[in-house]
């Protein structure tokens, strides 16, 4: 079955989300920029006070859409936005490096990209000798829960052997991971940092849905890494994502099936199963093949 | 040691990493924040290459830019067998020059389409893709006739040349730009042959040839 790919979004759950448009520092007051979100052509520019303004390109009145500046990005909503975006308190810690590592276009739905990000099983095969290595291929049992207050999906107690977990690595390590899905198209990873035993690096993927089966993925980092240049840190992250990209683009169907019988999960996919069920419970229909 | 001003996701930089690996020449990769930092357009970088592009090499003070020019230099200097850049055979050398120019075409079409999709470059994507297919069709037919003669590479010798290395990354990464290779079976067989070369190295988006 080839699912139909919608040209515009009629999904109120997705329309009412904040979506990451682009890094704030890529917007200027001198030029009007153009981009696409959920099939809609948008225009954007900084106003004379340096605040971002975004409007539908087809709107002759250029009515400003709701915008928010958070975690280095301009977020925009095409519907009725929630008051605030999910919290990443580490962003404000003074010794953190907050880095936009790049935006990469991928021909896949946002939920497929999120689900791949949640998967530890592919590390040894796709990120060989960096995030994983044979024979350390087993995904040990981990816990999954939904936070009753925020309704975020969490995977906790994840442990994986990584030859080179970060730019700050000098040797292989058992990495502790926490995964958090606070938004249908955004995912955050908390991971052991080689530099501080009690703290974790924060690595997030914020997907901007261009179309139902096409995204631009913003890679956001909030790291404890005082020494490496941004160039080196970006290279590390882009290399990882560049390895994921062809895997993502060869997934079929490009939309994520939510019917539990559609694809056969294994034990290691526990968080993916929870994510799919969570999308179903939210009523998301854009970027997915809803359960019958 | 050779310094390569390098960007991991660049097809043109990969061409240099590939030839250096095939020739087993040690080098130091100097990462350039090509994206999103646009470091290659910075005043600082333009002191290295006033044209503001990568790759650039610095071989003990000798600085050279332009991907296909660097391939010429590296093969001429570091391949004692003289096979990768066949200066001793005028006909082969002519063919290699011709296919290096062809590689400028694949760079400006197939790899441009990839930049459009991956990094949001402002190109006419339909023109890029149509141009890539036009060139892939020509190369596929060319390689098919080569195979009929028992030859494996774009030039008519028995050994690969830098022309193969100049074209290979643009071809093997083309799906990322939305340019399918489904209709080019000889092209696909040739990419597998390149991947089987001793010293072959991968980059993100390029998979090693199957070992099973």
CATH of domain A12-76: 2.20.25.680
What pLDDT is stored for residue B116 in this prediction? 95
Pairing relationship of beta strands A288-289 and B2-6 according to DSSP bridges? unpaired
DSSP per-residue letters across B118-165: HH-----HHHHHHHHHHHHHHHHHHHHHHHHTT--SSSSSSS--HHHH
Choose from B13, B31, B113 for mutation: most chain A CBs within 10 A.
B31
Chain segment A200-248, per-residue pLDDT in tens: 999 999 999 999 999 999 999 999 999 999 999 999 999 999 999 999 9
User: Domain B2-78 falls in which CATH fold?
Assistant: Glutaredoxin (3.40.30)
Q: Looking at residue A5, what is its pLDDT?
A: 65
Closest approach of chain B CAs to the CA of A158, in angstroms?
26
Please say whether the dihedral angle defined by the alpha carbons of residues B76, B80, B83 and B84, taken in this order, is positive or negative: negative
- Tell me the pLDDT tens digit for each residue of A252-282: 999 999 998 888 888 889 999 999 999 999 9
Size (chain A), residues: 292
| pLDDT at A222 (0 to 100) | 97
CA-based nearest residue in chain A for residue B39: A231
Closest to A40 (Cα-Cα) out of A291, A289, A286: A286
Q: Residue range B34-39: average pLDDT?
A: 94
Query: What residues does A196 pair with on adjacent strands?
Result: A193
**Which regions of chain B carry the CATH code 3.40.30.10?**
2-78
pLDDT the model gives residue A57: 93
Distance of CA A210 to CAs A39, B86, B204, Å?
A: 6, 48, 23
CA-wise closest residue to A222 among A41, A55, A91 = A91
pLDDT value of position A1: 45
Write down the pLDDT at residue B212: 43
DSSP state of B209: P
| Positions of CATH 1.20.1050.10 in chain B | 90-195
- The answer to whether B9 faces chain A, any CB pair under 8 Å, is yes
Q: How far apart are CA B63 and CA B104, in angstroms?
A: 21
Alpha carbons A233 and A223: distance in angstroms, whole number: 10
Does the domain spanning B90-195 belong to CATH 1.20.1050.10?
yes
The whole-number pLDDT of residue B74 equals 98
Interchain contact, B204 vs A239, CB within 8 Å? yes
CATH topology agreement for domains A12-76 and A89-289: no
CB contacts < 8 Å between A and B, how many? 58
pLDDT digits (tens, 9 = 90+) for A1-40: 455 666 789 999 999 999 999 999 999 999 999 999 999 9
Q: Are strands B2-6 and B56-59 parallel, antiparallel or unpaired?
A: antiparallel
Q: Which helix (H) or strand (E) holds A97?
A: strand A97-106
Q: Do B33 and A241 touch (CB under 8 A)?
A: no
We find that the CATH architecture of domain A89-289 is Alpha-Beta Complex (3.90)
Domain residues of chain A, as ranges?
Answer: 12-76, 89-289
Measured between CA atoms, how close is A147 to chain B, in angstroms? 34
Would you call A232 and B31 a contact, using CB atoms and an 8 Å cutoff?
Answer: yes
ipTM of this model?
A: 0.87
- Mean pLDDT over the full length of chain A: 94
Tens of pLDDT, residues A181-200: 999 999 999 998 888 888 99
CB < 8 Å to A230, chain B: 33, 37
Q: Give pLDDT, residue A146.
A: 97
**Tens-place pLDDT, residues B4-15:** 999 999 999 999
DSSP A127-191: SBTTTB-TT-------EEEE-TTT--EEEEEEEEEESS-STT-SS-EEEEEEEEEEETTEEEEEE
Please tell me whether residue A56 adopts helix, strand or coil conformation: strand
pTM: 0.91
- H/E run at residue A220: strand A214-223
Does the distance separating the beta carbons of A234 and B33 come in below 8 Å? Answer: yes
Average pLDDT of the segment spanning A49-70: 95
- Helix, strand or coil for residue A114? helix
Residue A4's pLDDT is 62
Residue ranges of the alpha helices (H) in chain B? 11-22, 43-46, 67-78, 90-106, 112-119, 125-148, 162-172, 185-195
- Please indicate whether, in this complex, the C-beta atoms of A242 and B39 are within 8 angstroms of each other: no
């Amino acid at each position: 079955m080839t699912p139909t790919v919608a040209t515009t979004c009629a999904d109120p759950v997705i329309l009412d989300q904040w979506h990451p448009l682009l890094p704030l520092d890529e917007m200027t007051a001198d030029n009007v920029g153009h981009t696409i979100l959920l099939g809609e052509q948008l225009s954007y520019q900084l106003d004379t006070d340096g605040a971002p303004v975004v409007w539908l390109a087809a709107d002759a009145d250029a009515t400003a859409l709701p915008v928010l500046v958070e975690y280095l990005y301009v977020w925009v909503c095409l519907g009725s936005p929630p008051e605030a975006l999910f919290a990443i308190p580490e962003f404000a810690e003074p010794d953190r490096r907050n880095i936009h590592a790049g935006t990469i276009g991928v021909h896949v739905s946002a939920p497929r990209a999120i689900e791949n990000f949640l998967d530890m099983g592919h590390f040894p095969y796709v990120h060989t000798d960096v995030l994983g290595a044979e024979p350390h291929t087993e995904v040990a049992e981990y816990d999954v829960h939904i936070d009753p207050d925020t309704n975020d999906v969490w995977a906790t107690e994840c442990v994986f052997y990584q030859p080179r977990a970060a730019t700050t690595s000098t040797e292989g390590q058992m990495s502790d991971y926490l995964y958090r899905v606070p938004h249908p198209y955004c995912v955050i990873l908390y991971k052991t940092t080689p530099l501080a035993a009690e703290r974790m690096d924060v690595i997030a993927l914020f997907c901007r849905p261009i179309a139902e089966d096409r995204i631009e993925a913003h890679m956001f980092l909030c790291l404890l890494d005082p020494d490496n240049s941004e160039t080196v840190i970006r290279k590390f992250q882009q290399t990882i994502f560049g390895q994921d990209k062809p895997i993502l683009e060869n997934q079929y169907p490009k939309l994520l099936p939510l019917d539990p019988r559609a694809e056969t999960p294994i034990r290691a996919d526990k968080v993916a199963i929870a994510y799919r069920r969570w999308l179903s419970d939210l009523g998301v229909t854009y970027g997915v093949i809803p359960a019958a | 040691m050779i310094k390569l001003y390098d960007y991991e996701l660049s097809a043109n930089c990969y061409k240099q990493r590939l030839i250096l690996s095939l020739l087993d020449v040690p080098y130091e990769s100097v990462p350039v924040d090509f994206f999103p930092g646009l470091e290659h357009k910075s005043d600082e970088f333009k002191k290295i290459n006033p044209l503001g592009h990568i790759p650039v090499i610095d071989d003990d003070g000798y600085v050279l830019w332009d991907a296909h020019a660097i391939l010429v230099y590296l093969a001429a200097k570091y391949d004692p067998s003289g096979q990768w850049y066949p200066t001793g055979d005028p006909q082969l050398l002519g063919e290699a020059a011709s296919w290096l120019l062809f590689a400028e075409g694949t760079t400006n079409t197939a790899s441009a389409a990839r930049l459009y999709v991956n990094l949001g470059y402002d190109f006419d994507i339909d023109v890029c893709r149509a141009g890539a297919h036009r060139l892939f069709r020509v190369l596929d037919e060319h390689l098919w006739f080569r195979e009929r003669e028992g030859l494996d590479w774009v030039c008519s010798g028995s050994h690969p040349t830098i022309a193969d290395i100049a074209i290979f990354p643009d071809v093997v990464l083309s799906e990322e730009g939305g340019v399918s290779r489904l209709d080019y079976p000889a092209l696909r067989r040739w990419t597998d042959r390149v991947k089987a070369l001793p010293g072959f190295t991968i980059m993100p988006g390029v998979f090693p040839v199957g070992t099973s």
